[in-house]
C-alpha cells in the first residue's frame, strides 16, 4: 500500500482502524497494554484494600466520602464513555465532523469529571486535613484515585492532540487507528472508575 | 607469624573438610545436626525430599549418559540423517504421571509438617512459657511477661517442653533462626506479629543468627539459646526475678557512671524493650553484643567505640572516656545474677 | 558492527546510525553490547563479594560497601545483564524465525532499548554520588525506606525507567508474533524459541506492572512523604514483599523460558532431529508461564502467612516441577537416536541439563514449605538460584550466542576457544555453588558480610571463592574469543550449522529487510522441510516487489534521555526543591519528543524492486 493510499484513500473501508497492518498492530498492542494496565490497577486496588482501615486514628472512609459528589462524577464519566462510542460509530461511517463533535463532548465531560475530582481532593485537604501523608489510608487513597485521575488527564491531552492535529485533513487510514485506540483507552479509564466507585466509595461508606 | 597463621588455617581447612565429609557442620549451629523438635522434623522432611530428588536425578543421568555416549557423532557419520521422530504419547504420559506421584509423596509430609510447626494449641495454658522476642538493629530482646523477666542476647529455655515465642520487630524486618533447634521466623514491624515454638531435646548453648538483611551489621546480629533442665530453669527464673542492681564498693563509681550515661537505653531488671539491650545478668552472657569474646578489655573497647565492632549500630561512640568505660565495665562484670547455664557457656567457649 | 562499514562512512555516522536505528538486528547489537558490559560489572561485583568471603572475619571491604555490592550484583545481573542479553537474542532471532521484516513496532523497539540503557546508567551512577543502594536486590521495606543517602532512590528510578523499557519490549514481541508471521507459519509450526519468547512476553506484560506499582509506592514513601510502609502511621511493610514477588517470581521464568527455547532449537539442530514431543514442549512452556503467577508467596514462607497459605503455595510450587520435567525428558529424547555434533553451542547445552536439573531439584526441596524454614535466606537458597540462573540462563546465553553468532555477525565464534572457555567456567560454576548448599545447611545465612571463625564454614567458602575465579577465567576467554573472531575469522554462509528454521534460509548477517521475498512455510522446521525435498531454499510466498520499511528516528533516544534527566531531579528534590528544575526539563524533553512523534506523520519508506534485484545479484556473486 503506497503512502498516498494511506493518507488519501480513494475509498474508506468499513473498519478504517484495522485496514492497514500498522492499524492491526496498534489495535492488538493496545489490548495487550490494557492487560498490563489492569495488573497495574489491580496492584493499586490490592494495596488500597490492605490499607483502607489503617487510618492511624485520623479520618476514616466513613466520615470523608460524600456519595452525592461521587455519583455525579460517575455519571459524567459513564456518559463520556457513551459519547466516545458515538464518535467511533461516526468514524466507521466516515463522518469526520460528527466524530470530532462527539469527541469534543467526551472531552468536555472528562474535563468536568476532572474538575470535580480536584475539588474533592482540595475539599478533603482543607476541610478535613486529610492528605497523602496523614495515614496509610491517605497514601493509598490518593495514590489509587490519583493514578486514575492522571490517566484521565493523559487521555484528555491525547484526544485533544489528535483532534487538533487532524482537524484540517479529516479521516484517513493513518489516523483512524489512533482515534480508535484513544477511545479504547477512554473506555478502560471508565471501567476502572466503576471499580473505584464500588470498592473505594460504596464499600467505604457501607463499611 | 605468617607461617603459624598458615598452619592454623591448614588445620582449620583440614578439620572443616573432615566435618564436611561427614556432612554436618558444627554442633549446635548446623541444621544437619538436629537437637530439637522442629529441626528434627525438618531434617526428616529434608531427607525425604533429597531421597526422592536423588532417585529422579539418577534416572535422568543414566539416560543422559547413555544418550551422549551412544548417539555422539562418529567419524565418517557426518552425513547420517537420523529418523525424524515426532514424539511418543506413552512416554509423555509416563514422565508426566510419575513426577506427579513423587511430588504427592513429598507434598503430604510437607503439609503435615507445615501445620505441625504452626500449632499453637497449648499456648497460654497453665505452665506453658511464652516469650516475647523483639528484633532490633542489631540485637535481640527477650521478655518473659508471665514471670516479669527481661533479658537480651541469651535466650534461656527449659529442655523437653514446648516454649512459644511471640515475635515482632522494633525497626526493620529481622529473622530469628536457631538451626539446630528449629527453623526460622521473621520478626516484622507493626502489627504483623508471628508465633513459633522451640523445643530443645538436650541441654546446651545453641547458636542463633539473624537471617533477614537488616543493615550493615546484619551478619553480627548473633544470639544464643541456652537450654537448661526444667529445675535449673526454675532456679534461673527465681534468680532473675530477684535482681539486685547494687554494686560492691569497688564498682560504685561504675554504677554511678552507668546510671548517668547508660541507663536511658539499657535497663537492668524487668522492663519493656528499651533503646538498647537489657543488661540483667550481663556477667554471664556468652558474648558481648552477641559476637565479641567476653573480657574486660573487649568490653571497654566496645563501650568506647561500638562502631568498630558492629558498623551502623545505634549506640553512640565516645559517650564516656576510656577510664570511665573501664569503671562501667567493672560494674557490668558484677551483674552476676544467675549462674544457671554458665557452665554450659564456658564449655562452648572451650570447644572452640 | 562491521569495521569496514565504519571506515567507509566514518565513526560519527556509525554512532548516529546506532542512536537512531529502528532495525531489530542493530538493536540486538545494542542490547548485546550494553548487556555484556553490565554482565562484566556484575561479575566484578561478584568477585569482590567472593574475595570478602574468602576467609572468616575478613575486612577486605566494609560492611556498608558489602551490602551495596550484593544489592548491585543482584540488581545488575537480573535487570541489566540477563534481561538485555535475552532481549538481544529475541531481537536478533524472532523476526527471522517467523519470516518477518522487522518487529511490529520498530520505533518502540528502539525506545525500549534506550529506556533500559538509561535506567541502567542511572542505577550505576549511584556508585559515584555517595553510595549505591544497599537494601538487597529485593529491597525489602522498611530497611529500604529508612536506608540513608540516595542509594535506594537510584534503585527506584533506575528500575522504573528500565522496567518501562522492558514492558514496551514485551508488548512489541507479543504483537510481532501474533501479527507478523509469514504465510503458513501457524502457531504450532513456530520454533520453540519463538514460542518461549511469546510466553515470556506475556509474563513481562502481566508481571512488570506489579513492580511498577511497588516502585511507585517506594518512591512516594521515600521522596514525597507517603506512609505505605511506615508502620507507625498504619502502613504495612509486607505489601512491598507481595508486590515485589508477584513481579519477582514470574521474572525468573521470564529469564529462563527464552533460554529453554534456545536449548530446544540447539538440541534439535545439533542432533539433526526434529524436537521430540513438540506439542508437549509448547504445552509445558505455556503451563510453566501460567503457574509462574501462582507461586510468588513461596519466597515468603517465613513471613508468617500461616500454614494454610504456606501449604497452598508449597503444593502449587511443586507442580511446576512437572512441566519442567517434561522438558528435560523431551530434550533427552530429542538427542536419543540422533547424530550429535559436540560444537561449543552444544557443549554449553549439554552441560545445562545436569546443572539445571540440580537447580530444579533444590527448587522442589525449597518448595516444601516447612523445610524452607531451614533453607530460607541461607546459602542454600543462594546455591539454588545460581544453579538455576547460571546453570540455566548463563549457560543458555553462552550456548545461544555461539549458535546465533554467525547469524548476527556473519562469523562463527572460534570453536576451540569456545570449548576452552567452557571448561573453567563449568568446573568453576559447580565449585562455587554446589558447596553453598551445604554452607547454608551448616548455618550460614545469605547476605552475611563476615562469617565467624570456628563455625565450620571456612573450607566451603574458600572453595567457593576458588570456583568464582575459574568462572572469571572462563568469561575472559570468551571475551578473547569475541575479539579474535571479529579480527581473524572468515565469513560464513547463511546456513553454517545445517539449520532447520527460517533464520538459516537467508544470508548472514541478513540484509536490513531480512527477506527479499516473504517465504512460504510448509511445516515445522520449514527450512528442513525444503532441504529434505532436495530444495536449496525457501519457496517465496509473494512476487518480488517493493518493500515497506520504517524510518530511523532519534526520538526514542530523546524520550529516554528526558526521563534520565528527570530521574536525577526526582532523586535530589528531597534535599533541595531547586532540583525540580531537572524534573521539568527532563519531562519537557520526554513529553515534547512524544508530542513530536504524535504530530509528525511517519509512514516509513520503500525499498524498490530494482535495489532488491541488485542485492540479489551481489549475493549470488559472492
pLDDT at B314 over 80: yes
Whether C583 maps to a domain, the answer reads no
Scanning C514-573 for CB atoms below 8 A from B yields none
pLDDT of residue A56: 83
Output DSSP code: residue C391: I
Closest CA to C356 of C252, C286, C459: C252
Return mean pLDDT, chain B.
Answer: 89
Does residue C53 sit at the B interface (CB-CB below 8 Å)? no
Does residue B241 sit at the C interface (CB-CB below 8 Å)? no
Backbone angles phi, psi at B288, to 5 degrees: -85, 130
pLDDT at B345 over 90: no
Scanning B195-214 for CB atoms below 8 A from C yields 207, 209-214
For C481-536, the pLDDT digits (tens) are: 999 999 999 999 999 999 999 999 999 999 999 999 999 999 999 999 999 999 98
Return mean pLDDT, chain C.
Answer: 95
pLDDT of residue A9: 80
For C366-376, the pLDDT digits (tens) are: 999 999 999 99
- The chains found to touch B (3+ Cβ pairs under 8 angstroms) are C
pLDDT at B311 over 50: yes
Distances in Å between the alpha carbon of A76 and those of A80, A142, C232? 6, 20, 39
Does residue C138 sit at the A interface (CB-CB below 8 Å)? no
Taking the C-alpha atoms of residue C574 and residue C463, their distance in angstroms, rounded to an integer, is 45
Of C171, C209, C225, the CB nearest to A133: C225
pLDDT band at C2 (very low <50, low <70, confident <90, very high): very low
C373 contacts in chain B (CB < 8 Å): 38, 42, 117, 182-185
Scanning C54-113 for CB atoms below 8 A from B yields 55, 62-64, 66-67
| Sheet (strand B223-228) strand order | B154-158, B223-228, B204-210, B174-177, B184-187
pLDDT band at B351 (very low <50, low <70, confident <90, very high): very low
Q: From the candidates B13, B218, B314, which should be mutated to test the interface with C, based on the most C CB atoms within 10 A?
A: B218
Backbone angles phi, psi at A11, to 5 degrees: -135, 125
CB contact under 8 A, A44 and C172: no
For C182-227, the pLDDT digits (tens) are: 999 999 999 999 999 999 999 999 999 999 999 999 999 999 999 9
pLDDT band at B8 (very low <50, low <70, confident <90, very high): low
* Residue C340 β-bridge partners: B72
Closest CA to B268 of B248, B245, B247: B245
pLDDT of residue A24: 94
Of B29, B88, B189, the CB nearest to C455: B29
Taking the C-alpha atoms of residue C131 and residue C149, their distance in angstroms, rounded to an integer, is 7
For B167-189, the pLDDT digits (tens) are: 999 999 999 999 999 999 999 99
pLDDT at C447 over 90: yes
Residue with cell 569503671: B327
pLDDT at A21 over 80: yes
A174 contacts in chain C (CB < 8 Å): 601, 603
CATH of the domain at C172: 1.20.210.10
For strand B204-210 and strand B223-228, is the pairing parallel, antiparallel, or unpaired? antiparallel
Is the CB of residue C87 less than 8 Å from the CB of residue C32? no
- Percent over 70 (pLDDT), chain C: 98
A46 contacts in chain C (CB < 8 Å): 239, 242-243
Whether C11 maps to a domain, the answer reads no
pLDDT at B127 over 80: yes
Residue of B nearest to C529 (CA): B84
What's the whole-model pTM score? 0.94
A50 contacts in chain C (CB < 8 Å): 236, 239
Residue A150: burial class (beta carbons within 10 Å; 0-12, 13-18, 19+): exposed
Whether C238 maps to a domain, the answer reads yes
Higher pLDDT, A108 or C10: A108
Show the cell assigned to A126. Answer: 482543607
Overall number of domains in chain C: 1
Taking the C-alpha atoms of residue B106 and residue B50, their distance in angstroms, rounded to an integer, is 10
Query: What is the C-alpha end-to-end distance of chain B, expressed in Å?
Result: 21
CB contact under 8 A, B207 and C443: yes
The residue ranges of DSSP E strands in B106-244, in sequence order, are 130-136, 139-144, 149-152, 154-158, 163-169, 174-177, 184-187, 194-198, 204-210, 223-228
pLDDT of residue B342: 64
Whether C321 maps to a domain, the answer reads yes
* Average pLDDT score over residue span A91-97: 92
Q: Which 3-state string (H, E, C) describes chain A?
A: CCHHHHHCCCCCCCCHHHCCHHHHHHHHHHHHHHHHHHHHHHHHHHHHHHHCCCCCCCCCHHHHCCHHHHHHHHHHHHHHHHHHHHHHHHHHCCCHHHHHHHHHHHHHHHHHHHHHHHHHHHHHHHHHCCCCCCCHHHHHHHHHHHHHHHHHHHHHHHHHHHHHHHCCCCCCCCCHHHHHHHHHHHHHHHHHHHHHHHHHHHHHHHC
Taking the C-alpha atoms of residue C184 and residue A185, their distance in angstroms, rounded to an integer, is 33
For C264-307, the pLDDT digits (tens) are: 999 999 999 999 999 999 999 999 999 999 999 999 999 999 99
Range of lowest pLDDT (B16-25, C210-219, C385-394): B16-25
Whether C435 maps to a domain, the answer reads yes
The residue ranges of DSSP E strands in B29-153, in sequence order, are 130-136, 139-144, 149-152
* Average pLDDT score over residue span C159-182: 97
Residue of C nearest to B292 (CA): C452
Residue of B nearest to C133 (CA): B215
Show the cell assigned to B80. Answer: 547420517
CB contact under 8 A, B216 and C449: yes
Whether C10 maps to a domain, the answer reads no
Is the CB of residue B282 less than 8 Å from the CB of residue B330? no
Whether C576 maps to a domain, the answer reads no
Query: What is the C-alpha end-to-end distance of chain C, expressed in Å?
Result: 20
Of C237, C319, C339, the CB nearest to B82: C339
Scanning C179-208 for CB atoms below 8 A from A yields 179-180, 205-208
Between helix A67-92 and helix A176-196 the angle, nearest 10°, is 160
- Percent over 90 (pLDDT), chain A: 78
Of C212, C227, C548, the CB nearest to A40: C212
Give the domain extent around C202: 22-553+602-621
pLDDT at A67 over 60: yes
CB contact under 8 A, B207 and C325: no
Is the CB of residue B31 less than 8 Å from the CB of residue B179? yes
pLDDT band at C166 (very low <50, low <70, confident <90, very high): very high
Return mean pLDDT, chain A.
Answer: 93
Scanning C371-410 for CB atoms below 8 A from B yields 371-374, 376-378
Taking the C-alpha atoms of residue C29 and residue C393, their distance in angstroms, rounded to an integer, is 19
Residue of A nearest to C172 (CA): A29
* Average pLDDT score over residue span B66-80: 92
C172 contacts in chain A (CB < 8 Å): 29
Whether C567 maps to a domain, the answer reads no
pLDDT at B346 over 80: no
Show the cell assigned to C69. Answer: 555490592
pLDDT of residue C49: 97
Does residue C171 sit at the A interface (CB-CB below 8 Å)? yes
Domain A33-53+62-206 architecture: Up-down Bundle (1.20)
pLDDT of residue B12: 56
For B185-229, the pLDDT digits (tens) are: 999 999 899 999 999 999 999 999 999 999 999 999 999 999 999
Does residue A50 sit at the C interface (CB-CB below 8 Å)? yes
Backbone angles phi, psi at C282, to 5 degrees: -60, -45
Q: How many CB atoms sit inside 10 A of residue A75's CB?
A: 12
Q: Which H or E element spans position C607?
A: strand C605-607
pLDDT at B343 over 80: no
Left, alpha or beta for B266 (phi > 0: left; psi -120 to 50: alpha)?
Answer: beta
Over its C-alpha atoms, chain A yields an Rg (Å, rounded) of: 20
* Average pLDDT score over residue span A151-179: 93
C354 contacts in chain B (CB < 8 Å): 60-61, 64
Does residue C353 sit at the A interface (CB-CB below 8 Å)? no
Residue of C nearest to A54 (CA): C234
User: CA torsion, points C340, C343, C349, C352, in degrees to nearest 10?
Assistant: 110
Over its C-alpha atoms, chain B yields an Rg (Å, rounded) of: 27
Taking the C-alpha atoms of residue A49 and residue B342, their distance in angstroms, rounded to an integer, is 51
Q: From the candidates C107, C220, C226, which should be mutated to test the interface with A, based on the most A CB atoms within 10 A?
A: C226
Taking the C-alpha atoms of residue B34 and residue B21, their distance in angstroms, rounded to an integer, is 18
CB contact under 8 A, B111 and C315: yes
- The chains found to touch C (3+ Cβ pairs under 8 angstroms) are A, B
In 3-state terms, what secondary structure has residue B228? strand
pLDDT band at C1 (very low <50, low <70, confident <90, very high): very low
Is the CB of residue C227 less than 8 Å from the CB of residue A139? yes
CB contact under 8 A, C603 and A29: no
Amino acid at each position: 500500500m503506497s503512502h498516498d493510499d494511506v493518507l488519501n484513500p480513494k475509498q474508506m473501508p468499513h473498519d478504517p482502524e484495522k485496514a492497514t497492518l500498522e492499524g492491526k498492530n496498534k489495535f492488538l498492542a493496545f489490548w495487550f497494554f490494557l492487560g498490563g494496565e489492569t495488573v497495574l490497577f489491580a496492584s493499586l486496588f490490592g494495596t488500597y484494600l490492605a490499607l483502607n482501615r489503617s487510618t492511624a486514628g485520623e479520618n476514616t472512609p466513613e466520615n470523608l466520602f460524600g456519595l452525592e459528589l461521587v455519583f455525579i462524577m460517575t455519571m459524567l464519566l459513564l456518559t463520556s464513555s457513551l459519547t466516545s462510542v458515538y464518535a467511533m460509530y461516526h468514524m466507521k461511517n466516515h463522518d469526520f465532523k460528527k466524530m470530532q463533535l462527539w469527541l469534543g463532548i467526551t472531552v468536555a465531560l472528562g474535563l468536568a469529571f476532572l474538575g470535580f475530582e480536584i475539588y474533592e481532593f482540595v475539599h478533603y485537604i482543607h476541610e478535613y486535613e486529610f492528605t497523602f501523608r496523614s495515614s496509610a489510608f491517605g497514601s493509598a487513597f490518593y495514590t489509587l484515585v490519583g493514578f486514575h485521575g492522571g490517566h484521565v488527564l493523559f487521555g484528555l491531552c491525547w484526544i485533544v492532540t489528535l483532534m487538533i492535529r487532524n482537524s484540517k485533513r479529516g479521516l484517513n487510514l493513518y489516523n483512524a487507528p489512533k482515534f480508535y485506540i484513544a477511545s479504547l483507552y477512554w473506555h478502560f479509564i471508565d471501567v476502572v472508575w466503576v471499580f473505584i466507585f464500588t470498592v473505594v466509595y460504596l464499600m467505604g461508606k457501607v463499611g | 607469624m605468617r607461617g603459624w597463621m598458615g598452619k592454623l588455617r591448614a588445620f582449620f581447612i583440614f578439620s572443616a573438610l573432615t566435618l564436611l565429609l561427614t556432612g554436618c557442620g558444627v554442633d549446635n549451629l548446623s541444621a544437619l545436626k538436629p537437637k530439637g523438635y522442629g529441626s528434627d522434623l525438618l531434617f526428616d522432611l529434608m531427607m525425604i525430599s533429597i531421597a526422592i530428588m536423588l532417585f529422579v536425578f539418577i534416572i535422568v543421568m543414566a539416560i543422559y549418559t547413555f544418550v551422549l555416549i551412544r548417539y555422539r557423532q562418529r567419524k565418517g557419520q557426518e552425513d547420517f540423517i537420523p529418523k525424524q521422530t515426532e514424539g511418543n504419547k506413552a512416554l509423555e504420559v509416563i514422565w508426566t504421571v510419575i513426577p506427579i506421584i513423587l511430588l504427592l509423596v513429598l507434598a503430604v509430609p510437607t503439609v503435615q509438617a507445615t501445620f505441625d510447626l504452626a500449632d499453637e494449641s497449648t499456648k497460654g495454658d497453665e505452665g506453658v512459657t511464652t516469650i516475647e522476642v523483639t528484633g532490633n538493629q542489631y540485637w535481640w530482646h527477650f521478655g518473659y511477661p508471665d514471670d516479669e523477666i527481661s533479658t537480651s542476647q541469651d535466650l534461656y529455655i527449659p529442655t523437653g517442653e514446648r516454649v512459644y515465642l511471640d515475635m515482632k520487630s522494633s525497626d526493620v524486618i529481622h529473622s530469628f533462626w536457631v538451626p539446630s533447634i528449629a527453623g526460622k521466623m521473621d520478626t516484622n514491624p507493626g502489627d504483623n506479629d508471628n508465633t513459633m515454638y522451640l523445643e530443645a531435646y538436650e541441654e546446651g548453648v545453641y547458636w542463633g543468627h539473624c537471617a533477614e538483611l537488616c543493615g550493615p551489621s546484619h551478619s553480627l546480629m548473633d544470639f544464643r539459646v541456652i537450654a537448661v533442665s526444667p529445675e535449673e530453669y526454675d532456679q534461673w527464673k527465681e534468680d532473675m526475678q530477684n535482681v539486685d542492681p547494687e554494686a560492691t564498693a569497688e564498682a560504685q563509681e561504675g554504677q554511678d557512671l552507668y546510671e548517668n550515661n547508660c541507663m536511658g537505653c539499657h535497663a537492668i531488671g524487668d522492663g519493656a524493650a528499651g533503646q538498647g539491650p537489657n543488661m540483667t545478668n550481663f556477667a554471664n552472657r556468652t558474648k558481648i553484643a552477641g559476637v565479641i569474646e567476653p573480657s574486660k578489655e573487649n568490653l571497654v573497647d566496645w563501650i568506647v567505640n561500638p562502631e568498630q565492632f558492629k558498623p551502623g549500630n545505634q549506640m553512640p561512640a565516645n559517650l564516656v572516656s576510656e577510664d570511665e568505660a573501664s569503671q562501667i565495665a567493672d560494674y557490668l562484670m558484677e551483674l552476676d545474677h544467675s549462674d544457671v547455664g554458665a557452665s554450659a557457656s564456658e564449655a562452648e567457649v572451650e570447644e572452640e | 558492527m562491521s569495521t569496514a562499514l565504519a571506515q567507509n562512512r566514518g565513526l560519527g555516522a556509525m554512532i548516529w546510525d546506532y542512536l537512531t536505528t529502528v532495525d531489530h538486528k542493530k538493536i540486538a547489537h545494542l542490547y548485546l553490547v550494553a548487556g555484556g558490559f553490565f554482565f562484566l560489572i556484575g561479575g566484578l561485583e561478584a568477585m569482590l563479594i567472593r574475595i570478602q568471603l574468602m576467609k572468616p572475619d575478613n575486612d577486605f571491604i566494609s560492611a556498608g560497601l558489602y551490602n551495596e555490592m550484593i544489592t548491585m550484583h543482584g540488581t545488575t545481573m537480573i535487570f541489566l545483564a540477563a534481561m538485555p542479553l535475552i532481549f538481544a537474542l529475541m531481537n536478533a532471532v524472532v523476526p527471522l524465525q517467523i519470516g518477518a521484516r522487522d518487529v511490529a513496532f520498530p520505533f518502540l523497539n528502539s525506545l525500549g532499548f534506550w529506556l533500559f540503557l538509561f535506567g541502567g546508567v542511572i542505577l550505576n551512577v549511584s556508585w559515584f554520588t555517595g553510595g549505591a543502594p544497599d537494601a538487597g536486590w529485593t529491597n525489602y521495606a522498611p530497611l529500604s525506606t529508612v536506608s540513608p543517602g540516595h542509594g535506594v532512590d537510584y534503585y527506584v528510578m533506575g528500575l522504573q525507567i528500565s522496567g518501562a523499557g522492558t514492558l514496551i519490549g514485551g508488548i512489541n514481541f507479543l504483537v510481532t508474533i501474533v501479527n507478523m508471521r509469514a504465510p503458513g507459519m501457524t502457531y504450532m509450526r513456530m520454533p520453540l524459541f519463538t514460542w518461549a519468547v511469546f510466553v515470556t512476553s506475556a509474563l513481562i506484560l502481566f508481571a512488570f506492572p506489579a513492580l511498577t506499582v511497588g516502585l511507585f509506592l517506594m518512591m512516594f514513601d521515600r521522596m514525597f512523604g507517603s506512609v505505605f510502609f511506615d508502620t507507625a502511621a498504619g502502613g504495612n511493610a509486607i505489601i512491598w514483599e507481595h508486590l515485589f514477588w508477584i513481579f519477582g517470581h514470574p521474572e525468573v521464568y521470564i529469564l529462563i523460558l527464552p533460554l529453554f527455547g534456545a536449548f530446544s532449537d540447539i538440541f534439535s539442530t545439533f542432533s539433526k532431529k526434529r524436537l521430540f514431543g513438540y506439542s508437549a514442549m509448547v504445552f509445558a512452556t505455556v503451563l510453566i508461564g501460567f503457574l509462574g503467577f501462582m507461586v510468588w508467596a513461596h519466597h515468603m514462607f517465613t513471613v508468617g502467612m500461616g500454614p494454610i497459605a504456606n501449604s497452598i503455595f508449597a503444593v502449587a510450587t511443586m507442580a511446576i516441577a512437572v512441566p519442567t520435567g517434561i522438558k528435560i525428558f523431551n530434550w533427552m529424547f530429542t538427542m536419543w537416536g540422533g547424530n550429535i555434533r559436540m560444537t561449543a553451542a552444544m557443549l554449553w547445552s549439554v552441560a545445562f541439563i545436569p546443572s539445571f536439573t540440580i537447580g530444579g531439584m533444590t527448587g522442589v526441596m525449597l518448595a516444601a514449605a516447612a523445610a524452607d524454614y531451614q533453607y530460607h535466606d541461607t546459602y542454600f537458597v543462594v546455591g539454588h538460584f545460581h544453579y538455576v540462573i547460571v546453570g540455566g540462563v548463563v549457560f543458555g546465553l553462552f550456548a545461544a550466542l555461539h549458535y546465533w553468532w554467525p547469524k548476527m555477525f556473519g562469523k562463527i565464534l572460534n570453536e576451540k576457544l569456545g570449548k576452552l572457555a567452557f571448561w573453567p567456567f563449568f568446573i568453576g560454576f559447580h565449585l562455587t555453588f554446589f558447596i553453598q548448599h551445604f554452607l547454608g545447611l551448616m548455618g550460614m545465612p545469605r547476605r552475611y558480610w563476615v562469617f565467624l571463625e570456628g563455625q565450620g564454614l571456612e573450607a566451603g567458602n574458600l572453595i567457593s571463592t576458588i570456583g568464582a575465579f575459574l568462572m572469571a577465567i572462563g568469561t575472559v576467554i570468551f571475551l578473547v574469543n569475541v575479539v579474535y573472531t571479529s579480527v581473524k575469522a572468515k565469513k560464513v554462509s547463511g546456513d553454517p550449522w545445517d539449520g532447520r528454521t527460517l533464520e538459516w534460509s537467508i544470508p548472514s548477517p541478513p540484509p536490513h529487510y531480512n527477506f527479499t521475498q516473504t517465504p512460504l512455510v510448509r511445516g515445522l522446521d520449514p527450512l528442513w522441510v525444503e532441504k529434505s525435498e532436495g530444495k536449496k531454499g525457501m519457496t517465496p510466498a509473494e512476487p518480488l516487489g517493493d518493500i515497506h520499511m520504517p524510518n530511523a528516528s532519534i526520538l526514542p533516544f530523546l524520550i529516554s534521555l528526558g526521563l534520565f534527566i528527570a530521574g536525577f531531579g526526582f532523586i535530589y528534590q528531597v534535599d533541595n526543591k531547586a532540583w525540580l528544575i531537572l524534573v521539568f526539563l527532563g519531562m519537557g524533553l520526554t513529553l515534547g519528543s512524544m508530542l513530536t512523534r504524535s504530530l509528525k506523520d511517519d509512514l516509513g519508506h520503500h525499498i524498490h524492486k530494482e535495489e532488491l534485484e541488485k542485492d540479489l545479484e551481489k549475493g549470488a556473486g559472492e
